[in-house]
Amino acid sequence: MDNTNPQGQESSNRICRLFGIRYPIVQGGMVWCSGWRLASAVSNSGGLGLIGAGSLHPENLRHHIRQCKAATDRPFGVNIPLLYPQMQEIIDIIFEEAVKIVFTSAGSPKTWTPLLQSNGVKVAHVVSSSLFARKCEDAGVDAIVAEGFEAGGHNGREETTTLCLVPQVREATSLPLLAAGGIGSGAAMLAALDLGAEGVQIGTRFALAAESSASEAFKQRCLGMAEGDTKLLLKKIGPTRLATNGFSRKVQEAEDRGASAEELREIVGKGRAKKGIFEGEIENGMLEIGQVASQARRIEPVSEIMAGILDEYNRLASRKQPVFA
């Protein structure tokens, strides 16, 4: 585990210290993208990789954790949407496999945080408002991810953008803070730190990495996107950012004519995200991806994505912006 800077001193960055990582870059846990290959690649590059439990059956999660341990000796974690139906089983596996970092989302941080922490697990929780950030602090979580409107997949109801959200969460809590949503470059990472974050969580860029388990067809579709080619849809059942395709147009058309939550649930049906992301059904599947996809150019290995972001960040952080006197 390398959580020291080149001089061998402990990092002054709280995110790096908390998770024992070299760079304050966390790979977001994403359904059908972030198995052990992606997570271990990010951890091996000095960031924090997360296995996304949301699209894994419990025993499959155990398999991914074991593969990840074999593939890296650096820290990695598991992302658990707290609405997962078999939570107790998942938690048992986290303990049995001695996972030391868990990111939770989509539920109350109070329910599982104490149990996880009493078993030596560091807990970060994803929020979309400073109201929930304060609830996280009350629940005793170790870190917070503030995720804005531009993020892919499941999203907050308030529609607050990362630019507006991060300063408000920073003011609401003193916890170590990661910014998420719309971050896929060193410039955006620097902007996030200027706004008060201490690190970033990056989803979309890593969803399109070579090591992502998303299908080639999904990656190519997302890489060909223009600005405005994602939309926050399904607000009546749970806001979700999707790339435009036949399925999203069907949802949009239904929403435009006032379709009920029940009807929308029927249109979505079962396994729609798996179809779109994992199986590459580009027209009829659900394509969860963030706005920042239109900035991505090609499928790259994680090591190159990390190096590119860090090089740009370091270059911009070293170049002083003008002072206006």
Task: Give the binding site for a second copy (CB under 8 A).
Answer: 5-6, 12-13, 22-24, 129-131, 148-150, 157-165, 167-168, 181-183, 185, 187-188, 190-196, 226-228, 231-232, 236, 255-259, 291-292, 294-295, 310, 313-314, 316-318, 320-325
Hey, what amino acid is at 160?
T
Q: Do residues 163 and 147 lie in contact, with contact meaning Cβ atoms separated by under 8 Å? A: no
Neighbouring-strand partners of residue 104: 80, 125
Enumerate residues 6+ apart whose C-beta is below 8 A from 146: 127, 128, 133, 162, 165, 166, 169, 177, 178, 179, 180, 197
Find the shortest distance in angstroms from Cβ 205 to a second copy.
12
Q: Residue 116 is encoded by which pair of tokens?
A: 């996880």
- Shortest distance in whole angstroms from residue 276 CB to a second copy: 20
Identify any residues that bridge with 240 across adjacent strands, giving them in sequence order.
154, 233
Complex with a second copy: residue 85 or 226, whichever CB lies closer = 226
What letter would DSSP give residue 54?
A: G
Three-class SS of residue 134?
helix
Chain centroid, CA 272 distance in Å = 20
At its nearest, how many Å lie between a second copy and the CB of residue 251? 13
Cα atoms found within 13 Å of the Cα of residue 219, Cβ hemisphere only: 19
Whether residue 23 contacts residue 46, with contact meaning beta carbons closer than 8 Å, is answered with yes
Shortest distance (Å) from residue 163 CB to a second copy? 4
Residue spans of alpha helices (H) in 200-301: 204-207, 216-223, 246-256, 261-268, 272-273
Residue whose CB is less far from a second copy, 124 or 165:
165
**Nearer CB in complex with a second copy: 133/273:** 133
Q: Which is nearer to a second copy, 231 or 274 (CB)?
A: 231
Query: Considering the complex, what minimum distance in angstroms separates the CB of residue 225 from a second copy?
Result: 11
CA atoms within 13 A on the CB side of 3: 20
Least separation in angstroms between CB 241 and a second copy:
10
Residue 42: its H or E element = helix 36-44
- Give the shortest CB-269-to-a second copy separation in angstroms: 21
233: which 2 tokens? 């849809």
> Shortest Cβ distance from residue 60 to a second copy (Å)?
33
- 69 versus 236: smaller Cβ distance to a second copy: 236
- Residue 72 or 291: the one with the smaller Cβ distance to a second copy is 291
59 vs 256, beta carbon nearer a second copy: 256
Contact 302, 178 (CB under 8 A): no
Whether residue 42 contacts residue 206, with contact meaning beta carbons closer than 8 Å, is answered with: yes
We find the least distance from the C-beta atom of residue 282 to a second copy, in angstroms, to be: 21
For a second copy, the closer of residues 264 and 286 by Cβ is 264
63: three-class secondary structure by DSSP:
helix
Distance separating alpha carbons of residues 183 and 202, to the nearest angstrom: 6
Q: Which of residues 90 and 306 has its CB atom nearest to a second copy in the complex? A: 306
